[in-house]
Amino acid sequence: MDYENHIRKQLDFLYGPQSDQLWQEIRGIIDRFLDKNNDLPSENFQLTEKDAILITYGDQFRAPNQSHLKSLADFLKQNLGHAINRVHLLPFYPYSSDDGFSVIDYRQVDPNIGTWEDIQQLSESYEIMFDAVINHISRESDWFQAYLRGDSRYRHYFIEVDPTTDLSSVFRPRALPLFHTVETNEGRKYVWTTFSEDQIDLNFSNPQILLEIIDLLLFYVENGASLIRLDAVGYIWKIIGTSSLNLPQAHSVVKILRAVLNIAAPNTGIISETNIPHDENIKYFGDPAGGDDSQAKPGSGDEAQMIYQFSLAPLILHTFHTGDVTALEYWVLTLSVPYQDSAFFNFIASHDGIGLMPAKGLLSDEQIQALIDKTLLHGGEASYKTNSDGTKSVYELNITLFDALNNPAKDNSKRSVSRFIASQAIMLSLAGVPGIYIHSLLGSRNCHACKEETGRA
């Protein structure tokens, strides 16, 4: 595939007349990276049946007189060995909220948990998945603080909104305001905030943001990333009057990032994180890399090598709660990946809640409501999104997987453990790469005291 022409085509679609100059700047970023890193593996990113990914925060394990990342490395070595070969380190950067997903500085390791040296040492034993939290950044970040000061470089790094604009068509994953007021040196502004007041959305219609992110991803490769998770990537392009979710422009950005890595670091893969219905989710595998639609299963797509299999969790819960495998079986029989180098990332628990949007079209409204009712019965909670008509509906179930499967009020330890292990066995048996959340490995229960302390479910 001619990656240069592929990138140029996407740039032309996104930025028009600026595309030639932008390609030259991207080429310069790639060349500088290659000059510094001429010893990286040249083979393409590959997955095998031996791949398994542990999902964990960097500070999940703590021991005296050493960094949390070193404690994590010790735990992995002593308890897991070669049972897993990849580790997804949830955001380990300095942050201001949302357990790491409101990043203050993309290029630093949170000193409370360790150093870049700790990350690099961990990458010598395990393939590491880094988080690229590129839809938004903390209001405490240097970028946003410079915007508030009126620094001309950062003037268009964020999305300003006229508060009188009709934004009812925009998809909302939260029941929170879509924009927030900030005071700048130029007066009061209203900035786009998809997820929270502390998470300010980046403006990808400004090509400088794309250049920043390309340089950032290559920095992550340089520091040990073999897989890069594009967090909330479906939201990265906004157009008033649309849902601003999964727009063609968002897919074009992913295509550019994939092509850049194919040139500069082909051994590094991309995984897209898009909590949406299955039919939309699988579009993030992209188009055939060669543009040949006649091939039934060409070798490679032009977007993510892996996508999160969000539908699996609600289907697993439905199956165990009802004793009816019909919905799960029917769905599994429809699954296939379009390219030889692509795979589903199968997971049923993570740092997030259990999303219900991916169950749409697979379970009826009544069956989805039954999952909500069961979650509440088992001591969990539900988080809501705002719909276009102003109403609210459940977006995620907030509950640990163990308690989602087993009613704590009627705990039968032997049966509960058997049910839980059976759920994991289904996940592990499906084609794709299993993602094992650390709290599934430990069988964690709901922590109501934690909710009371933090106010977060």
Catalytic residues: 231
Q: What is the CA radius of gyration of the chain?
A: 22
Residue 43 in tokens: 């083979």
The length of the chain, given as a count of residues: 457
Distance CA 240, CA 77 (A): 50
- Phi and psi angles of residue 189, each rounded to the nearest 5 degrees, phi first: -130, 160
Determine contact, residues 232/195, Cβ cutoff 8 Å.
yes
CA 177, 180, 185 angle in degrees (round to 5)? 175
Q: Which of 436, 404, 418 is nearest to 318 (CA)?
A: 404
Q: Which helix (H) or strand (E) holds 314?
A: helix 312-322
If one counts every other C-beta atom within 10 angstroms of the C-beta of residue 2, the result is 11
Other C-beta atoms closer than 10 Å to the C-beta of 72 total 26
Neighbours of 150 (CB within 10 A): 12
Q: In 17-126, where do the E strands start and end?
A: 53-56, 86-89, 95-97, 102-103
